[in-house]
Amino acid sequence: MKLNIIVNNQVITATLNARQASRDFAALLPLDLQLEDYAGEEKIGMLPAQLSSTDSPKGTPARKGDVMLYKPWGNLALFYKDHVYADGLIKLGQLDDPDALPLPPSSYSARFELNEQQ
């Protein structure tokens, strides 16, 4: 599944994987989230519902450009730097251009939509 992330009228694309958590995330779309900088590594936003992790590993490291769920907090995370392995970190997909995510300001609104031209 292809995903559009719209920030300041700029469209950033991502590709979601086929896991259940990604399908649950896609079912929430379209979705507006306030993204906040966290730990100088990622932008996070709170999801309105829990996502299933039944077919996902217990945790994983993150790479720059990863679209992740952090299960313990129920938040979406867009990584702009690599991160070590963490329990509860579940990969949903990957930004098509890992450098496309705007870093400043520390907080901004983003709209997430399925890309209808997939």
Is 111 exposed, middle or buried (CB count within 10 Å of its CB: 0-12, 13-18, 19+)? Answer: middle
- Tokens 């031209």 found at: 117
pLDDT tens digits, 1-28: 999 999 999 999 999 999 999 999 999 9
Query: Count of CB atoms within 10 A of residue 12's CB?
Result: 18
d(CA 14, CA 1): 8
| CB-based contacts of 99, cutoff 8 Å, min separation 6 | 65
Closest to 21 (Cα-Cα) out of 62, 58, 61, 55 = 55
Domain count, the chain: 1
* pLDDT grade for 116, boundaries at 50, 70 and 90: confident
pLDDT tens digits, 33-50: 999 999 999 999 999 999
pLDDT at 71 over 90: yes
Q: Which pTM was predicted?
A: 0.95
Question: Looking at residues 100-107, what average pLDDT do you find?
Answer: 91
* pLDDT grade for 118, boundaries at 50, 70 and 90: low
Closest to 67 (Cα-Cα) out of 117, 13, 115, 9 = 13
Over pLDDT 90: what percentage of the chain?
95
Domain around 28:
2-114
Maximum Cα interatomic distance, the chain, rounded to a whole number of Å = 35
Q: At 110, which CATH number?
A: 2.40.100.20
Question: Looking at residues 60-72, what average pLDDT do you find?
Answer: 98
